[in-house]
Structure 1
Amino acid sequence: MSRLFLLRHAKAAWAKPGMKDFDRPLDEEGIASLMRLARSMKETGLFPDRVVLSASVRTRETAFGLIERLGIDVETIIDETIYSGGPGQYMQSIRQHGDVGNLMLTGHNPSIEDLALALCSDGEPESIHRLNAGFPTAALATISFEGALTNIEPGRGFLESFLLSH
């Protein structure tokens, strides 16, 4: 069995005049949410073996901030295609980097939500209910699959949990 952690970046600050969307950093609420999410993840005892993330400032701050708060040593890969990619690009990145037991992909909405919904055919009822209500910032979907993530297909995942950091 393999697990995919889908993480939407934490809450980002509004862009300042002349600032590109790509360069928006996390705001105070986003930083605080990482501590709550790390605490929840520690309770489950499930951690990624590898983290693939978008190159944007807010996703880098989210992924590296969470890794630091978890106190884990994990391989990280910045995938330049995730920032502007859709669910299909996210799937391609997962397949490319999914030769580990537990992979985390840190990305953006609406792609992260669309992908989570497409991958899960079943799941823990309360988690399914929360996911169907939306994928807020700093939320984490944990989806399990039979077999390797390099071969995942839509509709084959089981939503184990959907953690909200708010």
Structure 2
Amino acid sequence: MKTLHLIRHAKSSWKDASLADIDRPLAPKGIRACAVMAPEIAKTGCDFSHVFTSPAARARETIERIADSLKTLSFTWTVTEKLYTFSAHDLLEFCRDDLPADIDQAVIVGHNPAFHDFCNRMGDTTIEKLPTCAYARLEQNTDSWTDIGPRTMQLTVFLTPKMFIRGFIKNKGLINE
């Protein structure tokens, strides 16, 4: 069984227009989303042993903040230039050509529209929207990453920050009902 855990980077800041796209950091909303999503992603059984992230500041900061929120879990990540892509085709090539054959699970932190299109092309379900800091798990009963292709994977988990944000804010005492 091969399992891909896709985490779209959290909401980025457009505050400093002079920054190149690759250098944009997370916005405050994105920082909060990481804190909300980290425990929810962990509850799904996501294995963070092999994380591959885009070199974009917002992607690196997303995995750093998720790791900071899950101090009891072991994280290892590799910054991978090929993941600074907005193409599902490039993402598929990375999975087939660059994921180590001896690992069965990989976490990839990256960008839309690559992630949205990848989920919809490779998976068995159509996702209407893959928002920032969303998590999607795709699985395929195979022994090789090279077997991944259109409609060969099953979407087994899909989480978005909106699913949890109200409860998170309520638990922090920021709203009363």
The two structures have a TM-score, normalised by structure 1, of 0.87
Matches within 5 A, 1:143-154: 143-148=138-143, 150-151=145-146, 152-154=148-150
What is the CA–CA distance in structure 1 between the aligned matches of 2:140 and 2:79, rounded to whole Å? Answer: 24
**Do structure 1's residue 163 and structure 2's residue 159 form an aligned pair?**
yes
Instruction: State the partner residue of 1:125.
Output: none
Q: How many residue pairs end up in the alignment?
A: 158
Question: Please, what is the CA RMSD of the aligned residues?
Answer: 1.7
Instruction: State the partner residue of 1:116.
Output: 119
User: Deviations for 1:91-127, whole angstroms, at most 9, x for unmatched residues?
Assistant: 12222115312111111111110011111125xxxxx
Instruction: State the partner residue of 2:109.
Output: 106
Instruction: State the partner residue of 1:26.
Output: 26
What is the CA–CA distance in structure 1 between the aligned matches of 2:66 and 2:160, rounded to whole Å? Answer: 14
Change (3 A) 1:162 1:58: same
Between 73-82 and 56-65, report the one with greater CA deviation.
Answer: 73-82
Query: Whose relative contact order is higher, 1 or 2, with alpha carbons under 8 Å and at least 6 apart?
Result: 1
Change (3 A) 1:116 1:149: farther
Matches within 5 A, 1:67-82: 67-71=67-71, 72-82=73-83
Q: Which amino acid aligns with 2:51?
A: V
**Unaligned stretches of 5+ residues in structure 1:** 123-127
What is the CA–CA distance in structure 2 between the aligned matches of 1:21 and 1:109, rounded to whole Å? Answer: 13
Tell me, yes or no, if the aligned pair for 1:98 and 1:148 is still in contact at 8 Å: no
Larger Rg: 2
3-state DSSP of counterpart to 1:137: coil
User: Deviations for 1:50-84, whole angstroms, at most 9, x for unmatched residues?
Assistant: 11111000000012221232232233121112213
3-state DSSP of counterpart to 2:138: strand
**Unaligned stretches of 5+ residues in structure 2:** 163-177
One of 130, 136, 140 as aligned partner of 2:135: 140
Matches within 5 A, 1:9-20: 9-20=9-20
3-state DSSP of counterpart to 1:61: helix
Change (3 A) 1:81 1:46: closer
- Displacement of 1:149 in angstroms is 5.1
The two structures have a TM-score, normalised by structure 2, of 0.82
Matches within 5 A, 1:13-92: 13-71=13-71, 72-92=73-93
Percent of aligned pairs with the same residue? 27
What is the CA–CA distance in structure 1 between the aligned matches of 2:159 and 2:34, rounded to whole Å? Answer: 12
User: Deviations for 1:20-70, whole angstroms, at most 9, x for unmatched residues?
Assistant: 111110011101111111121232233233111110000000122212322
3-state DSSP of counterpart to 1:121: coil
Between 93-102 and 153-162, report the one with greater CA deviation.
Answer: 93-102
